Structure 1
């Protein structure tokens, strides 16, 4: 591989890694001022733990030799010692590093559903076990030769399309997030409008960093494919996100009378989520439509938690699960050449739905079992007193803001 391609791979890896601190700002601004450190630490904790596990054995698990295998052998090259001795190690390690960033942010995304009420140690235990039993195997299913990767061939239909993580990242994280809302229960005073963002500029900053890093997420996947679709992917990542912002703000204006900056930021993330699986397989016009649909549908979906009674604190379900499902299934209708409305038959739609539902059900069950076991043993949720007081000082011994009274 030439030096330019290798440099692009390194830059893409850095961009995707930067997304997780961006997520920390996005989530941190949305919570109470007494919980912002706790919220941001869950993202940074995921970087530390999941990044380590990926190098030790996660990369080994993310590829399989048989479509029906659960995962690769975690001990096949523990710590990547064999890879390090190979002639292509310099190039291979870039691919390993790039894959680690996807694993990290998938786990970090889940934390938004349990804001203000989770123990940090319990979260770290969950993150490690879920990465091992949830993300690493699903990555193998979708990208590493597993059942989702091979589904089209097995059924005599088109291959499943998930270019950069609609199933493996967003549906996975959204379904796991939904499971944890049932394990930890509702925050005190859970009603619409009761929990307001404490720092809206943090939210805008976080969404902006996510959008910036997302070019590494989407376009970065092209570095092993000769960058043949880089232009299309870049444009679709801009277009779908822009349309989603407009649609979310329009829904807010019609529904509540005012478009908000938090809504615009959330719309941006919803558009990014939806275009992730579809970025290389839609023409720009269909990408704009997907973005508009994702902004409108996700803006309505985030209200479901109040109607259905589950406390998804920062709308991981409404944005990532719904947006991921929308973007993945949308390909069944509008994927270039294979979509139902663009010259293909129903086959693309069938495999998209099967892959989406399969990943969603598995991620939900695994996350619920892990979370339930933690709650019943060491406890996952903080005490009522600690929740009401604010968990930054209790759990981390720190406060986000120091207020000094001026002396007269």
Structure 2
């Protein structure tokens, strides 16, 4: 079978979406403290390893349209096990494209528990969550399941519009992140320690740029026509641009100054919001949607301090909130030229009700299933590192590495002194490091 233009574009789009996960690693890595940057990036990279294999073995089978399904929630895991009966290039490409969505959805969750999660527990969590939460959600929305035109929900209310993953990706990841935070608990000094700040803002900006670049494949990869692809491209341009401006206005009014972190976060909020609606709203609708998402997420990220939950890198404030904004807004802004019309275009409240109910049902499903997966892991093997490991830093404690060298012998390149820091054994280089850190801490105390 020869490649058609559509298959070539799908091949490129799949590569763009896969590139988003390393981009997310940069984005999240810059947002953490320096002593946990590598661990944060590793949490994204390990998701590529575990979820890619899970998807090929049984995840794709669970999410693919199939008459053999469990109450319209997921399909038979063994119907395409190992992709043994996927012989057409189009089948394999579509499966690969879908796999990249599963990978980044899992990786997104990690930002909520930055600085304090056991790498081993996270590694175990990723394939189980992809199997029991992501694959069923993908089937319910895109695979002919519950929320589709053929499903009970779709026939009772209306088929849910989610072109690229408002419910499947962002609401899903945001809720999962919140549940993990509630199970694992807050970081030591949360809300009090001024060092809980991003350590590398340029890295954040680089990550946001890669995410925006890859998002054109994320949203437009499944475009059916050139016209639809053009609409999606423009919407994916203007929604995050408007969200960035909205976020910066909130910062300027609330805090007195716009920030680089706010600009990057606003871009991501707009990308999240336009994801489900990218093929169903006009460019003007995309701009309005972006502004609302940017303002809503900018306000939401501050709630964690008032409510007392330590969503380290604002997965809840950005992905859950903007995912909800984008999903529900379709009920207002969907244009009749793309199918179902929203309330503002004379379509009545039918689609709005369907979008809102689907969002609520998705929240409930993900919350329950994430708890069922994570709580036993936490109780059996522990999902959180020790207080000593958290103070020393997840990079040294879990990986025997540091992201940067600051001129102290062995601090970044030699594994032996790093191992000494973990075990408590004193060698000459380790003693030098400890003495240097003690002197620095003393100077900071005097200055304070």
Q: Give the TM-score band, short-chain normalised.
A: over 0.9
1:373 corresponds to which of 369, 372, 376: 376
Distance change (3 Å), C-alpha of 1:26 and 1:219 = same
Q: Which runs of 4+ in 1 moved over 4 A?
A: none
How far is the alpha carbon of 1:4 from its aligned partner? 2.0
Contact 1:67 1:145 in 2 (8 A): no
| Aligned: 1:340 with 2:343 | yes
| Aligned: 1:49 with 2:77 | no
Question: Could you say which residue in structure 2 is the equivalent of 1:237?
Answer: 236
Question: Could you say which residue in structure 2 is the equivalent of 1:8?
Answer: 9
Post-superposition CA distance 1:294-338 (Å, at most 9, x none):
000100000111111111000000000000000000011111131
Question: Could you say which residue in structure 2 is the equivalent of 1:389?
Answer: 392
Post-superposition CA distance 1:184-236 (Å, at most 9, x none):
100011006551100000100000000000000001111xx234401110000
Structure 2: distance between partners of 1:136 and 1:142: 10
Q: 5 Å matches for 1:17-166?
A: 17-63=18-64, 64-65=66-67, 68-83=71-86, 86=87, 89-149=88-148, 150=151, 153-155=154-156, 157-166=157-166
Structure 1: distance between partners of 2:154 and 2:296: 32
Structure 2: distance between partners of 1:227 and 1:180: 41
| Aligned: 1:356 with 2:355 | no
Note the residue ranges of structure 2 that are not aligned, 5 or more in a row.
Answer: 410-448
State which structure, 1 or 2, has the greater radius of gyration over its C-alpha atoms.
Answer: 2
State the SS of the aligned residue for 1:281. Answer: coil
Range with bigger deviation, 157-166 or 234-243: 157-166
For the aligned residue pairs, the C-alpha RMSD in angstroms reads 1.4
Structure 2: distance between partners of 1:335 and 1:233: 13
How far is the alpha carbon of 1:361 from its aligned partner? 1.0
Distance change (3 Å), C-alpha of 1:115 and 1:168 = same
| Aligned: 1:178 with 2:178 | yes
Structure 2: distance between partners of 1:378 and 1:162: 37
Contact 2:270 2:293 in 1 (8 A): yes
How far is the alpha carbon of 1:152 from its aligned partner? 5.8
Question: Could you say which residue in structure 1 is the equivalent of 2:442?
Answer: none
Contact 1:218 1:279 in 2 (8 A): yes
Contact 1:151 1:159 in 2 (8 A): no
Structure 2: distance between partners of 1:145 and 1:311: 37
Q: How many residues align?
A: 399
Range with bigger deviation, 328-337 or 23-32: 328-337
Contact 1:270 1:319 in 2 (8 A): yes
| Aligned: 1:202 with 2:203 | yes
Post-superposition CA distance 1:237-263 (Å, at most 9, x none):
001110000000000000000100000
How far is the alpha carbon of 1:369 from its aligned partner? 2.0
Contact 1:59 1:96 in 2 (8 A): yes
How far is the alpha carbon of 1:7 from its aligned partner? 1.2
Post-superposition CA distance 1:144-178 (Å, at most 9, x none):
011111356421x4421100000000000000000
Distance change (3 Å), C-alpha of 1:405 and 1:45 = closer
Contact 2:146 2:153 in 1 (8 A): no
State the SS of the aligned residue for 2:335. Answer: coil
State the SS of the aligned residue for 1:277. Answer: helix
Contact 2:62 2:139 in 1 (8 A): yes
Question: Could you say which residue in structure 2 is the equivalent of 1:404?
Answer: 407
Contact 2:242 2:270 in 1 (8 A): yes
Structure 2: distance between partners of 1:358 and 1:13: 29
Structure 1: distance between partners of 2:202 and 2:311: 22
Q: 5 Å matches for 1:272-283?
A: 272-283=271-282
Q: 5 Å matches for 1:277-356?
A: 277-337=276-336, 338-356=341-359
Larger RCO (alpha carbons 8 Å, 6+ apart): 1
Question: Could you say which residue in structure 2 is the equivalent of 1:249?
Answer: 248
State the SS of the aligned residue for 1:264. Answer: helix
Contact 2:137 2:168 in 1 (8 A): yes
Contact 2:70 2:76 in 1 (8 A): no
State the SS of the aligned residue for 2:345. Answer: coil
Contact 1:67 1:146 in 2 (8 A): no
